[in-house]
Structure 1
Amino acid sequence: MKSSPLRSVLFVCLGNICRSPLAEGVFGSVLKAEGKAAGVLIDSAGTNGYHTDEAPDLRSIKVAQRHGVDISSQQCRQLGADDFTRFDLIIGMDRMNMTAIEKRRPANATAQIGLFYEVALGDTKQIPDPYYGTDADFETIYRMILAASKGLSVRF
């Protein structure tokens, strides 16, 4: 991956209702706290379009709010071909997401693509989908996303 500072990142999970909207909000709050948010484009998307135009899962909204991050105005969307040239970096939450992202990568793609923990922390750990889990599972992924966001922020 290139060593020059990045200016845009797209976080991707399956439906863009749990992990990726949370990552979008948390990463934005980390960059803001570090004074790096100006001019950085942060967005999220899903590999499927089941929830297009919906708000994030209420449990993601609530865990974010408990930690001072507001993601309630985000709208879910599906990963598109133009994302591969619009963003410097596309981040998948787990290996299944990475496979789907790679399958959608067009020939003219310029974005770097990587697993969140691997890009941010040099660890192959995946961020599990909490959708069928409990509030405690959403708290766990919040902490994982926060740790990875702090690691990723050095690239910006």
Structure 2
Amino acid sequence: MLNVLFVCLGNICRSPMAEAVLRHKIRESGLEAEISVDSAGTGDWHTGKPPHGGTRELLDRYGISYAGLVARTVQPEDLDRYDFIVCMDRSNEANVRKLAGGSGARIMGLMDLLPDEAFREVPDPYFTGNFDEVYRLVDAGCEALLFRLKEEISGKRTAGE
């Protein structure tokens, strides 16, 4: 099984949106037994809270479930538990890399998966209020990530793992 962790600042806007979107895409692809998804934040202000109202409203609009999602902070053991740690911006990525030390986790920015996109980070809608723009980026990034995960699963099957 491949394990993915999305990371943003407070784990109430961007990373839970990405978690919900990727779970939805995984379910549509029939890959629930092969890919798991979670999200966390680098800050602890919102621990235990559900996603931001703007995130919930947007996900409702697209028919994407966020049931059971509550904010939590990144823990050192996450660096060993997850195969891919996908950060929403460079500041969060730097914080995760600092926490990772010599971990073998693959840490990347979501926008690294979209090299032709003008945005190099996913803007924080907690401050900008633009949840629609964030959804567009998250949806495209999750699509690219799912393609990469499918390639990895296919490679493992070919290798007989």
Same fold by TM-score, threshold 0.5 exceeded?
yes
Out of 27, 46, 54, which is 2:49 matched to? 54
Query: Per-residue CA shift, 1:85-108, capped at 9, x if unaligned?
Result: 00001011011111111111143x
Larger radius of gyration, structure 1 or 2? 2
Question: In the alignment, what sits opposite 2:106?
Answer: 112
TM-score, with normalisation over the residues of structure 2?
0.85
Q: Does 1:142 align with 2:135?
A: yes
Question: In the alignment, what sits opposite 1:7?
Answer: 2
Query: Per-residue CA shift, 1:47-78, capped at 9, x if unaligned?
Result: 01111111111110110110111214201000
More helix by share: 2
Partner Cα separation in structure 1 for residue 30 and residue 66 of structure 2: 20
Contiguous gaps of at least 5 residues in structure 2: 150-161
Partner Cα separation in structure 1 for residue 78 and residue 137 of structure 2: 25
Q: Does 1:154 align with 2:154?
A: no
Question: In the alignment, what sits opposite 1:30?
Answer: 25
What is the aligned residue count? Answer: 147
Contact 1:16 1:46 in 2 (8 A): yes
How far apart are residue 40 of structure 1 and its match?
A: 1.5
How far apart are residue 139 of structure 1 and its match?
A: 1.1
How big is the alpha-carbon RMSD for the aligned residues of Structure 1 and Structure 2? 1.5
Partner Cα separation in structure 2 for residue 50 and residue 104 of structure 1: 18
Divergent runs of 4+, >3 A:
none
Partner Cα separation in structure 2 for residue 144 and residue 37 of structure 1: 23
Partner Cα separation in structure 1 for residue 18 and residue 101 of structure 2: 24
* Identity across matched positions, percent: 35
1:33-112 equivalent positions in 2, closer than 5 A: 33-107=28-102, 109-112=103-106
Letter in structure 1 aligned against 2:7:
V
Query: Per-residue CA shift, 1:103-149, capped at 9, x if unaligned?
Result: 11143x2210001120x233572100010233xx1011011100111
> 3-state DSSP class of the match of 1:131?
helix
Partner Cα separation in structure 2 for residue 62 and residue 39 of structure 1: 29
Question: In the alignment, what sits opposite 1:3?
Answer: none
